[in-house]
Structure formats: structure tokens, C-alpha cells
Structure 1
Amino acid sequence: MSEGFSAEWLARREPFDAVARSAALAARLADALPQRPRLLELGAGAGSLFRWLAPRIGRAQVWTMLDADGDLLEHGFARTAAWAETRGWTVTTPSGALIVHAPGGAWRIEARVADFGAGPEALPLAGHDAVVCSALMDLVSASWAARFVARLSVPFLACLTVDGRDRWRPPALGDRLVARSFARHMRRDKGFGPAMGQAAPQILVRLLRARGFEVATASSDWLIPRIARHLLTDMVEGHAAAAAEALPRAAARIATWREARLSAIARGRLSLVIGHRDLLALPTED
């Protein structure tokens, strides 16, 4: 898996992820799970999804977290332990696992480094009651997704998959150029074959329904206000760099857009909506 993310970036986006994810779909997943569910998280990173979803499940549970970056998983354990302790919960670490002794029952977490580029066939999908992920499925190819869905037989929750409904406020000259170029960049190979990018929600719905799953989706947009200057700067810089790489002949125009957008941030005159969708797939009775 070649697409890497820093701990700093993941920490900066975590509050926005938490507000954006669909609590309604999470509740439906929790209702569909057994009393002590076993969850497999793909691309777990620093544990943001766990810290959001585990309290919503609200009972004893076991998590296996997979990520390509072992250091990030270790950092996530430390963040989760600190997060739990601030809530007055006891944390223990037997045999390399992390156990959060929450009021509704113990939450056990184990972490493993995984090579996602080896294909979904290499992932330990068996033995779990649900598979979950966040901000992952737009990075994989349609072929990878199809092979993953072909192996899936339990509930699947995919949060924060981009869908292309980004809106810079106020609009400005260059927005469409940057959007088209950024979308092209998103479709590049991230280690799984050509990425689905903004088409991922539609492709996933089609694949899962063809396999007989009941599928529900919900908007989970990032709403980045004018006061979130650091994150807005990250987004402008990231969009500009990706767009210029995807369309080098337009680099000068993209640079002009970048300077104008950074100036707007400095003056407190820019906000941004990043379009995402959450997806929940539930097996149907035969």
C-alpha cells in the first residue's frame, strides 16, 4: 500500500471525521451485531474510527486493526489509551493487545501490519462479525473492490468515501480546473491498481447489491469553517499539488488559484465542503 498518511494529518482531521460520519448507519450496524462482536478494521491508521464507533456499539467487543504502517498503529494504541484514560476508564496491555475497560464491557484491540497491495485475498476476513473502514475505499481499484466484495459475507461499514461534491465558498475562478485535475489525480494507482476515486460510492453500491447485500448510504460531508485555517491550508495545498501533478500544462493557472485561496484563508473568507458518503451493507436472508 503506497498511500501513506502522517499521524499529524490524521490527528488534524479526526474532529471533522467524527462530526461527518453517519451516526444512523453506525447505530444500524450496532443493532445487527452479536452481543460481543468481533470487528476487522481495514486501514485503521491511528485508531480514529475505533474511538468513534466503539462507544456507539457500547458493549464488550473485539477489534483487529490492520494497516500497512506499523508505526502508525503503535501511535494509535498510545492515542487510544490516552483517550480512554481521560474518560476515567482503565487500560491494560496484556500480550501486546490493548484492552479498554469501558462501562459496558471490555474492548479488546489487536493490531497487525498488512500488505493491502497483495489483494483482498490476503486479508483475514474470516472469523469476524463485521468489516469496517474509513477513508479507504476511494483509494482502491474497482477490481480490488470486486474481489473484496466477493469474499465478504458479514456486515460492512465504509465511512468517509469521497464522492466529488466539493464546494469552495465563495466560488472563484479556477475551482473547476482544480476539481477536474484533482479528480484525475485521485484515480491514479495507490498500490491497488487505478483508484476508484470519486466513483467509489457508486461502484461499491453496485457491487454489494449484486452480491445480495442490503445497502444504505448517507451523506458524511466535511464542513470546514473559516476559522479552521490550518486544515483549510492543508486542503488548498493538497489540491493544488495534486492538480498540478495531474495536469502539468495548467500549473501556472493552478498556482494562481492556490495563491488566491491562501489569501482568502488569511483574510478569514474561505470555507469548504468536502463531499463524502458513508455506506452500510448488511447480508440478507437466503
Structure 2
Amino acid sequence: MTETFDGDWLALRAPFDAMARSAALAQRLSAMLPARPRLLDLGAGTGSLFRWLAPIIGRAQAWTFADADADLLARAFADTAAWAEANGFTVTAAGVAGSRALLIDTPSGAWRVDAVIADLAGAPETMPLAHTDAVVCSALLDLVSAAWIGRFVAALRTPLLACLSVDGRDAFRPAHKLDRVVSSGFRRDQGRDKGFGPALGPRAPAVLHEALAAHGFAVSSAASDWCIPPTAAAMLSALVDGHARVAAAHLPGRRSDIAAWEQVRLRQAAMARLAIRIGHRDILALPPAG
């Protein structure tokens, strides 16, 4: 059973995801795709990757959202329909995720979205990778194991755009003497089994790059850091709370220190005196010719 994610957290992070992802890699992917590409979004969540990438592709396209959480897929349909209407597009059909398609009529062509409930933690070769022109994902591959990556890449036959894998280049500003303690606990949690085996956490970009290159893929990458400014109080507070909560769970002997760190950081966030960078990388992989 894979770890589940709160839809409100995914909504809070969505604008920071959009600002961080590499538009240059997305444009390169778009240039490689056919006239009406079919894309598979693994771990689609609430559909934020579609809402960022579909306008970059900018032509008729068909997407399949794959996620283990039916409630998130239902929210993905609702959020995507609302987004489309807010952008002046016509939503011509919508239904419950997994039973009907969401059809969006845009000036650049029709965008079709359907969904499938999929156990992504199972064997990657059993996922719906066939009949697609590209596989995309966001904030997924740092949750999986090295063994899962190996099986997934071995089954991959199409371009891959993997966005927002953490790489460990995190920084809280201003610095605090307990940052290293909290970071130590947080890193332990990043390596916890999320349902795919021991998670790669910040090792994911390097492990993915190596596996793809070993199978003949041409691999490019770009930094895609979250840069959370002092004005983003809600996001800052959520990150502080999340770091403190998981660090304390893994370092019970330092709970009082971590609680003190959390109180300082929350006060700084409330006073617009805190900024956070969370390092990520995006990876684009193109399959070998022939």
C-alpha cells in the first residue's frame, strides 16, 4: 500500500511546483511528441502537472491520470475542470474519475483526460505504459526504491519527464543552530519505506539518471528548486511543521530541541523573516533511436 497524500497539501504546494519545474525541459519534450500526444501521468494526485504541462504542449492531447487514491483522482477532475473554466476553456464533458473522460475545448485543440486507479507500488512493468507517447510524473520518484527504479526503467519505451525529485540541497534562512538536527531526522524520514521499498529520497535524481543512461536513454536534467519567499506564510509554516513532526518521530531523544526549533521558525514565518529553499531536479529522458 503506497503512502497517501492530503489534497489540501497538494493544492498548497501546486503554485510552488509550477514555478519550480523546468519549462525548458518541458518544451524539449513537447518538440519530440507527435501531433496529438498521449501522456501517462504517474502519481497524478490532483492533476497539477497536467495544468502546468498541457499549455506548454499547446495542441490537441490525451492524458491518463494514474494514481492509487480514488479520492485524489476525483479531486483532480474537479480542480482541472474549474481551472479550465477559469481560463476560458469549454469543459464539454466531465464525470467521476475512472468512468468518464474530462474533455476540454481550447483554442489549440481538444484536451482529453481520463483516469485509472493503479497500484503504482506494484511491478512497474504491469503499469499502463503501453499505448502512450510519454510518461510524466511529479514528486514521485524520490518516494520509490532503487529496485523499483530499475524495473521501471527496464519497462520504459517512451520519453520520460520526471519533475521535482528532491536532491538534498535544502536551506532555511536565516540559519539556526538546530538546523542540522532537524535535517538529520528529516533525511531519515525521506528514506522510509513509502510502499515501494526503502525510499531513495535525495539520491533519486542520481539513481534515476544512472539507470536511464545504462538503458541507452539520452538524459538531461535541470534544477527545479522550491524557493519559498518570506511572504508565503502558509507554505513556510507547513514546511516547518512537516520537518519538525517527522524529525521528532525519528529522533525522540531530541524532541525538546526540535520543538524549540519549530517555535522559532514559526515565529519567523509569521513575521515574514523566514525563507526556505528545497532543492529538486527535473529529468528528461529520451529513448534510444530504433
Which residues of 2 match residues 187-202 of structure 1 at below 5 A?
187-202=191-206
Q: In 1, Cα distance between the equivalents of 2:106 and 2:86?
A: 12
Residue segments in structure 2 that go unaligned for 5+ positions in a row: none
Shift of 1:177: 1.3
Is 1:109 paired with 2:82? Answer: no
Q: Output the amino acid matched with 1:186.
A: Q
The one of 197, 222, 242 aligned to 1:238: 242
Q: In 2, Cα distance between the equivalents of 1:237 and 1:247?
A: 15
Which residues of 2 match residues 182-221 of structure 1 at below 5 A?
182-221=186-225
2:33 corresponds to: 33
1:74 corresponds to: 74
Q: In 2, Cα distance between the equivalents of 1:244 and 1:122?
A: 37
Is 1:88 paired with 2:88? Answer: yes
Following TM superposition, the consecutive aligned residue runs of length 4 or more in structure 1 with deviations greater than 6 angstroms are none
Shift of 1:264: 1.2
2:19 corresponds to: 19
Output one character per residue of 1:187-232: Cα deviation in whole Å (capped at 9) or x when no partner: 0000000000010000000000000000000000001011111111
Q: CA RMSD in A?
A: 1.1
Q: In 2, Cα distance between the equivalents of 1:119 and 1:141?
A: 12
The one of 179, 183, 205 aligned to 1:179: 183
Shift of 1:121: 2.5
Shift of 1:123: 0.6
1:252 corresponds to: 256
The one of 267, 271, 278 aligned to 1:263: 267
Q: Output the amino acid matched with 1:239.
A: H
1:142 corresponds to: 146
Q: Output the amino acid matched with 2:6.
A: S
1:57 corresponds to: 57
With normalisation by structure 2, the TM-score equals: 0.96
Is the contact made by 2:171 and 2:276 (CA closer than 8 Å) also made in structure 1?
yes
2:5 corresponds to: 5
Shift of 1:267: 2.0
Is the contact made by 1:116 and 1:122 (CA closer than 8 Å) also made in structure 2?
no
Shift of 1:79: 0.9
2:56 is paired with a residue of what secondary structure? helix
Q: Percent identity?
A: 58
Q: How many residues align?
A: 286
Shift of 1:178: 1.0
1:117 is paired with a residue of what secondary structure? coil
Is the contact made by 1:67 and 1:114 (CA closer than 8 Å) also made in structure 2?
yes
Shift of 1:82: 1.0
Mean Cα deviation higher: 116-125 or 208-217: 116-125
Mean Cα deviation higher: 111-120 or 37-46: 111-120
Q: In 2, Cα distance between the equivalents of 1:180 and 1:138?
A: 17
Shift of 1:158: 0.4
Mean Cα deviation higher: 105-114 or 255-264: 255-264
Q: In 1, Cα distance between the equivalents of 2:2 and 2:247?
A: 19
Q: Output the amino acid matched with 2:235.
A: L
Is 1:283 paired with 2:290? Answer: no
Q: In 2, Cα distance between the equivalents of 1:195 and 1:274?
A: 18
Residue segments in structure 1 that go unaligned for 5+ positions in a row: none
2:219 is paired with a residue of what secondary structure? strand
Q: In 1, Cα distance between the equivalents of 2:246 and 2:55?
A: 36
With normalisation by structure 1, the TM-score equals: 0.98
Mean Cα deviation higher: 258-267 or 206-215: 258-267
